[in-house]
Amino acid sequence: MGGGKTSGGKKGGRRQSAAAIRGLGPRAMGVAWIVIITVAVVSTLGPALLDFGVGVVFGLIVLITLYAWVLRRIVFGSRAIPRWARLTYWAGGALLVVGGVHAPDAFLALAGEQGTATIAYADIETGSHGTKYIQCWVDLPDGNTEQLPRTGPCPAPDGAHRPVVYSPGGVVGPILGSRGDLMWWWAAGFQLAGVGLLATTAVLTVRDPVLERRLWRR
């Protein structure tokens, strides 16, 4: 009797292990997709507010991690991710990264203030790789002097006044121009397209994780 119990326990353990390897069920998979999409959006927008280059690198690292560890190992388990789902995942991720190009514009359109800046000065600075570049600094209405987010010479002589949209808390760098000049629509459009593509992938894979193989058999 003791041997029978041991055998049954081993079989039960094997069944549990096999169930875990198969991947998540529909409800858990849906929750996992919500987490994946949320983290992808935050990771591609947040760092890009401070520096687009950092945003691209950080966003790609997070997208790769989400795919390799969450989507592939946990969500799908031993089930193969359909080729179309792989393509739409990376296409959606690419759209999110591209949308981060004008993440500061979107932030300033929502939380920035319009004012008049004074061109302070331009100086030559050295980057992390030893390259030299020109950086323009402006005096803002709140009394702070901040650098423009894009490198290059100042658009006007020192002391000239230009309209500016800026963040009083200094969260992002100021952008010369009016609110109407901000390219917030770029960030919104690409981000919405990326989220839409990932959400479509999520819905279809939750409904049928092996859709591609069934279609292939037909």
b/e per residue 145-179 (b: at least 16 CB within 10 A): ebbbeeeeebeeeeeeeeebbbbeeeebbbbbeee
Residue 146 lies in a domain: yes
Mean pLDDT throughout 101-121? 95
101 and 117 belong to one structural domain: no
Residue 15 lies in a domain: no
Question: Does pLDDT of 125 surpass 70?
Answer: yes
More confident residue, 12 or 74: 74
95 and 122 belong to one structural domain: no
Average pLDDT, the chain: 86
125 and 213 belong to one structural domain: no
Mean pLDDT throughout 126-139? 85
Mean pLDDT throughout 89-105? 95
What confidence score (pLDDT) does residue 130 get?
A: 76
39 and 57 belong to one structural domain: yes
Mean pLDDT throughout 18-40? 82
Residue bearing tokens 């690198």: 57
What confidence score (pLDDT) does residue 84 get?
A: 92
Question: Does pLDDT of 12 surpass 60?
Answer: no
User: pLDDT confidence of 19, banded at 50, 70, 90?
Assistant: very low
Residue 5 lies in a domain: no
Phi, psi for 119 (deg, rounded to 5): -65, 120
State which residues form the domain around 85.
21-105+184-217
101 and 188 belong to one structural domain: yes
136 and 99 belong to one structural domain: no
**Distance from the Cα of residue 16 to its chain's centroid:** 35
Residue 8 lies in a domain: no
Mean pLDDT throughout 63-71? 94
Measuring CA to CA, which residue among 60, 101, 108 is closest to residue 191? 101
What confidence score (pLDDT) does residue 21 get?
A: 53
What confidence score (pLDDT) does residue 20 get?
A: 43
Distance CA 50, CA 55 (A): 8
What confidence score (pLDDT) does residue 77 get?
A: 85
Domain count, the chain: 2
Question: Does pLDDT of 137 surpass 70?
Answer: yes
Residue 68 lies in a domain: yes
- Tens of pLDDT, residues 176-218: 999 999 999 999 999 999 999 999 999 999 987 766 655 445 4
99 and 120 belong to one structural domain: no
Residue 172 lies in a domain: no
Q: Are 197 and 92 in contact (CB under 8 A)?
A: yes
Residue 95 lies in a domain: yes
How many residues does the structure list for the chain? 218
98 and 196 belong to one structural domain: yes
Q: What is the dihedral of CA 11, 12, 17, 21, to 10 degrees?
A: 100
118 and 100 belong to one structural domain: no
Residue type for 160, please?
A
- Tens of pLDDT, residues 49-60: 888 888 899 999
28 and 63 belong to one structural domain: yes
More confident residue, 23 or 17: 23
Question: Does pLDDT of 148 surpass 80?
Answer: yes
Question: Does pLDDT of 112 surpass 50?
Answer: yes
Could you please report the per-residue DSSP string of 32-93?
A: HHHHHHHHHHHHHHHHHHH-HHHHHHHHHHHHHHIIIIIIIIIISTTSPPPHHHHHHHHHHH
Question: Does pLDDT of 3 surpass 80?
Answer: no
92 and 145 belong to one structural domain: no
124 and 189 belong to one structural domain: no
